[in-house]
Structure 1
Amino acid sequence: MTGVEIGRIDPLELEAFVVLAEELHFGRTAARLGLSQPRVSQLLRSLERRVGRRLVERTSRRVELNPLGERLLRDVRPAFDELRRAVVGTRAAGYGLRVGFLGPYFSTLDVPLQRLRERYPECAVTLTQLSWADVYGPLRRGEVDVQICLLPVEQRDLTIGPEIGVFPRRLAIARNHPRATAESLDIEDLAEMTIIAPHTVPPELARTFWPPETTPSGRPIRRGISAITEPEMLGAVAHGAGVFVTTAAMARHFLHPDVVFVPFTGMPDARVVLVWRKDTDNPRVRELAAIAVEQ
């Protein structure tokens, strides 16, 4: 195309493109940006008109970047990430504290955060729910200062802080399932079921938090559909798509009328810790960690 000036490019177009490249889903992209799906599509079309070619291949079932889209992503992402880090870093200069959490575990910090507010009344605390599909992304992009995470954490650029919660395992199972009334179920029982898996998680979580490919006796564990959000997981369980291995925290905070949570054995308890970037200079992060140890 001719007559296109770099200065005329809307930064929101590039942000929508980068987030879409991360999510590969228009609905999740819209949710992250706080926009409607039609607005995300409009921004992408505008960017494609400026480039003069399609960047994304879309069908009713999937979204993926084409080679030109991959090239644009490689070119703009480093600069985009630096710009985003500069903006959020400046916003955090007043030493507020932005805390990320995975849905079922947000209450593990209720007491430490209350004590932090009592000691530092001027400290503005904001909470952000993290996506299972992008567990460490907001932390690395500077969108949160510290986060709650499940062990193990095998990320060299991150500091593992104190343990703030331990949760026994539960099996989410449809209320009308023949085994739903069992007093407890074991990992060996999964050989007779299909499990619902998360869409994408860090390798160490996939390896340890979710069931292995076989039971301890060697019987295969079938994997069915994947889900990202807690409501998606519970909806899939309720409609008979499979069972979901989770924890008592899930049973405490996310409910569905057609799902029950049965005590589950054969896998270790879930352990929750604080995690932050090694290069953080926000003193409130370590102060929160110190308060958590005092509990």
Structure 2
Amino acid sequence: MPDLPARELECLLVLAEELHFGRTAQRLRVSQSRVSQLVAALERKIGTQLVERTSRRVALTESGAEFVDRVRPAYTRLIELVDGARQEAGRAAPIRIGFQGLAYETITWTLARFTQENPGVALSLRELPLGDPFGALLAGDIDAAVALLPVREPGLSVGFAFPPAPRMLAVSHGHPLARTERIDAEALADVDLVSVDGPAPWYWRDVHFPRFTPLGKQIAGTARVATLQEGMTLAATGRYAMLTCRPVAERNQRADLRYVRVTGFDEESRMALIWRSARRPAQLTKLAALLGALPDITEPTWQRT
């Protein structure tokens, strides 16, 4: 297939409108001699004269006028197709990411860097229900979730796991446990622990909203919440306590809450970037790599016990 003389065609079409080499050169931002070269090159490829030029006027030949009439609609349509494709590329489907609970600095800094390095990729962000960490991801409503581990759902994989974080118990300043620096997990049998509403799988719920202590003592859970802030507010009333993690505690300091370190669990709290194993946008791999390259800022600046 011969090369399409796009530049020569553009030159001829502009010249057909202006009938003036100088104005044509200005519109194309080239010299007049370059206009003459482009027209001559097109005439050689077609094999006929298209333009008549005298000292007084510029005109299309009969063949040139007929050629322009036939080419202009096709050329205009080609430009429209190219522009449309460019606009569609600019409106490419965004990478949809859900966040459970709190997106702290490690995540927000990474997203800022990702958008700088990938200007053609848009990000769509949404908050996930506290009690449904994987539902939107399994339904295909989002491409990835930043959610608490563990995850054992078929078809989901961990792309990046954040460092583990110590468990913390949020209680009011008047709560009996507020006077201690740390407690053993067995002490949770003596509190009314906030539970969560939603279809979270049982194995996940037992880690973050346990019904029993590690030694099997039952933990009361008479209140259920849909969001982190609801749980914090209930804890602040003094009747309830909420189990959380150190990064969340550090970034949710309130005058009516105290955070106590909880030890004795088999595993610490841990967030992860989770995606679908089979259908994962390539940009998510870049995002996971950026998360791994950032320094760990999950270590607290207060209550290091």
TM-score bucket of the superposed structures, by smaller chain: 0.5 to 0.7
Listed as ranges, the matches of 1:191-230 within 5 Å are 191-200=189-198, 201-216=200-215, 218-230=216-228
Listed as ranges, the matches of 1:109-128 within 5 Å are 109-128=107-126
* CA-to-aligned-CA distance 1:233-272 (integer Å, 9 cap, x gap): 0121122331111101221333443211111111222111
User: Is the contact made by 1:171 and 1:263 (CA closer than 8 Å) also made in structure 2?
Assistant: yes
User: Is the contact made by 1:196 and 1:242 (CA closer than 8 Å) also made in structure 2?
Assistant: yes
For 2:106 and 2:243, locate their aligned partners in 1 and report how far apart those are by CA, in whole Å: 20
* CA-to-aligned-CA distance 1:91-121 (integer Å, 9 cap, x gap): 9971532211112244332233233223212
Structure 1 runs of 4+ aligned residues shifted over 6 Å read 90-93
Listed as ranges, the matches of 1:36-115 within 5 Å are 94-115=92-113
Give how far 1:151 is off: 1.4
For 1:276 and 1:91, locate their aligned partners in 2 and report how far apart those are by CA, in whole Å: 24
For 2:195 and 2:106, locate their aligned partners in 1 and report how far apart those are by CA, in whole Å: 24
RMSD: 2.4
1:252 to 242, 250, 255: 250
User: Is the contact made by 1:104 and 1:254 (CA closer than 8 Å) also made in structure 2?
Assistant: no
Residue type of the partner of 2:94? G
* CA-to-aligned-CA distance 1:148-203 (integer Å, 9 cap, x gap): 12111001121221213422111001111122121111111112222111123222
Matched residue SS, 2:272: strand
For 1:167 and 1:275, locate their aligned partners in 2 and report how far apart those are by CA, in whole Å: 18
Residue type of the partner of 2:203? E
Q: Does 1:168 align with 2:179?
A: no
User: Is the contact made by 1:108 and 1:165 (CA closer than 8 Å) also made in structure 2?
Assistant: no
User: Is the contact made by 1:162 and 1:289 (CA closer than 8 Å) also made in structure 2?
Assistant: yes
Q: Which runs of 5+ in 1 are unaligned?
A: 1-89
Listed as ranges, the matches of 1:21-32 within 5 Å are none
Matched residue SS, 1:260: strand
TM-score by length of 1: 0.63
Give how far 1:208 is off: 2.0
For 1:132 and 1:118, locate their aligned partners in 2 and report how far apart those are by CA, in whole Å: 30
Listed as ranges, the matches of 1:5-20 within 5 Å are none
For 1:102 and 1:288, locate their aligned partners in 2 and report how far apart those are by CA, in whole Å: 17
Q: Does 1:293 align with 2:263?
A: no
For 1:137 and 1:96, locate their aligned partners in 2 and report how far apart those are by CA, in whole Å: 19
- 1:179–1:281: structure 2 CA closer, same or farther, 3 Å change rule? closer
- 1:119–1:188: structure 2 CA closer, same or farther, 3 Å change rule? same
Larger Rg: 2
- 1:174–1:181: structure 2 CA closer, same or farther, 3 Å change rule? same
TM-score by length of 2: 0.61
Give how far 1:127 is off: 1.9
Give how far 1:214 is off: 3.5
User: Is the contact made by 1:175 and 1:260 (CA closer than 8 Å) also made in structure 2?
Assistant: yes
* CA-to-aligned-CA distance 1:21-40 (integer Å, 9 cap, x gap): xxxxxxxxxxxxxxxxxxxx
For 1:139 and 1:118, locate their aligned partners in 2 and report how far apart those are by CA, in whole Å: 25
Q: Which runs of 5+ in 2 are unaligned?
A: 1-87, 295-305
